[in-house]
């Protein structure tokens, strides 16, 4: 790389997955799809190559330039991407890389939705990254910098599609696949032990189960998220009031694509959901909206971060958002001194029964999971495959 190119991309090099050690380690244990987005000449290709080089042992770069796809406002069905998409699909299907890098303008919403669908299909966490170069929207400079020799008018036609920030369905911490696999296993073991617990079988009426011999909590909570995560802010692609303001918070901009370790303090089960209670650090609370608890329980007062959780499964026809509501119900009972029965040690901690089929396992040792703070950009309601579906496992790691 030339001295000038290196200088020009100084800002771009500050993205966490290039310079933050914890992020680099976590990315290596995750399945990540990096979607570089911006005008031609803004610095995407330089950044793409640096990311590929950083993770060269397990990364695959797909550049639209290499397929001779010229940046333009689309008037067709995107057929020019057919060869590139075939190779991208094969790469994902054959598990050839855990880090897939896509270098293109990505100004077209239909194109992006196709990529988001692909990411969901193969369980990739998506990172949408734009260059931070000072000229990224300066068409005058970009006219001389882009190798396609696009005119000033062509660049100005593209710019409006890239000026507005791309907001996700929600922001949150997405588990590295290595730790996700471990947590799913812990969740399954907990449900199996709870289902076999004599005291649990005495409260089956809350679950609508008459015959205790037909009890199978794994089947009862068959709906699980495609990628385990802890939601911080629901945005509905920008439709929710306050979404744009949240995305522009300094902590969110600095935290995006960065790795964080979350601490799980308890596992819980209700007739609707099963989840993990997350204890956020002071740094992580900067990414937590002030109104997160009031959104679902406006009449109650909870400490900031009380709703932080990871949904592990839901009963039929129950939405994931219910898990956070259920967790606040537990906390409300704890605050008011609601009755609970302590049943002593079970599995990884102490098991407690509250009311209406609500069980909580307070862990004797917190579970640590590595995560990447990003957004979910795909369609709502995507769930993980049932047992027996094709799945790739990363090298084993210890979960505390």
Structural domains of the chain, with CATH: 3-163 (3.40.50.300), 170-376 (3.90.1740.10)
Per the annotation, the verdict on 352 as an active-site residue is no
Per the annotation, the verdict on 123 as an active-site residue is no
pLDDT tens per residue across all 400 residues of the chain: 344 444 444 444 589 999 999 999 999 999 999 999 999 999 999 999 999 999 999 999 999 999 999 998 776 667 899 999 999 999 999 999 999 999 999 999 999 999 999 999 999 999 999 999 999 999 999 999 999 999 999 999 999 999 989 999 999 999 999 999 999 999 999 999 999 999 999 888 888 887 777 789 999 999 999 999 999 999 999 999 999 999 999 999 999 999 999 999 999 999 999 999 999 999 999 999 999 999 999 999 999 999 999 999 999 999 999 999 999 999 999 998 877 899 999 999 999 999 999 999 999 999 999 999 999 999 987 665 433 333 333 334 555 5
Cα angle 224, 225, 228 (rounded to 5 degrees) comes to 115
Catalytic residue, chosen from 229, 263, 286, 352, is 229
Catalytic residue, chosen from 60, 106, 107, 309, is 309
Q: Could you write out the three-class secondary structure of 153-206?
A: HHHHHHCHHHHCCCCCCEEEEEECHHHHHHHHHHHHHHHHHHHCCHHHHCCHHH
Torsion 388-394-396-397 (CA) sign = negative
């Amino acid at each position: 790389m030339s001295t000038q190119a290196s200088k020009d991309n100084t800002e771009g090099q500050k993205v966490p997955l290039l310079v933050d050690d914890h992020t680099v380690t976590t990315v290596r244990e995750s399945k990540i799809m990096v979607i570089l987005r911006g005008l031609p000449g803004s610095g995407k290709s330089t950044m793409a190559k640096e990311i590929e080089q950083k993770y060269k042992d397990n990364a695959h770069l797909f550049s639209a330039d290499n397929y001779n796809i010229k940046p333009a406002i689309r008037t067709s069905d995107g057929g020019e991407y057919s060869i590139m998409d075939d190779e991208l699909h094969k790469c994902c299907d054959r598990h050839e890389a855990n880090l897939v890098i896509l270098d293109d303008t990505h100004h077209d919403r239909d194109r992006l939705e196709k990529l988001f669908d692909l990411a969901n299909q193969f369980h990739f966490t998506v990172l949408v990254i734009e260059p931070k170069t000072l000229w990224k929207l300066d068409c005058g400079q970009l006219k001389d910098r882009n190798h396609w020799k696009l005119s000033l008018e062509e660049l100005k036609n593209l710019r409006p599609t890239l000026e507005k920030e791309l907001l996700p369905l929600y922001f949150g911490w997405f588990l590295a696949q290595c730790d996700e696999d471990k947590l799913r296993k812990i969740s399954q073991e907990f449900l199996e032990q709870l289902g076999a617990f004599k005291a649990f079988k005495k409260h089956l009426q809350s679950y609508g189960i008459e015959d205790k011999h037909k009890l199978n909590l794994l089947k009862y909570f068959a709906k699980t998220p495609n990628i385990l995560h802890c939601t911080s802010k629901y945005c509905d692609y920008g439709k929710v009031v306050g979404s744009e303001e949240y995305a522009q918070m300094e902590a969110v901009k600095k935290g995006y694509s960065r790795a964080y370790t979350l601490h799980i303090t308890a596992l819980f089960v209700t007739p609707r959901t099963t989840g993990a209670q997350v204890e956020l650090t002071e740094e992580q609370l900067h990414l937590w909206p002030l109104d997160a608890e009031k959104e679902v329980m406006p009449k109650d007062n909870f400490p900031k971060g009380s709703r932080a959780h990871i949904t592990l499964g839901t009963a039929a026809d129950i939405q994931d958002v219910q898990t956070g509501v259920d967790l606040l119900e537990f906390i409300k009972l704890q605050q008011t001194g609601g009755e609970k029965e302590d049943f002593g040690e079970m599995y990884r901690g102490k098991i407690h029964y509250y009311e209406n089929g609500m069980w909580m396992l307070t862990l004797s040792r917190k579970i640590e999971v590595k995560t990447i703070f990003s957004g979910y950009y795909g369609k709502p309601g995507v769930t993980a495959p049932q047992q027996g579906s094709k799945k790739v496992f990363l090298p084993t790691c210890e979960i505390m």
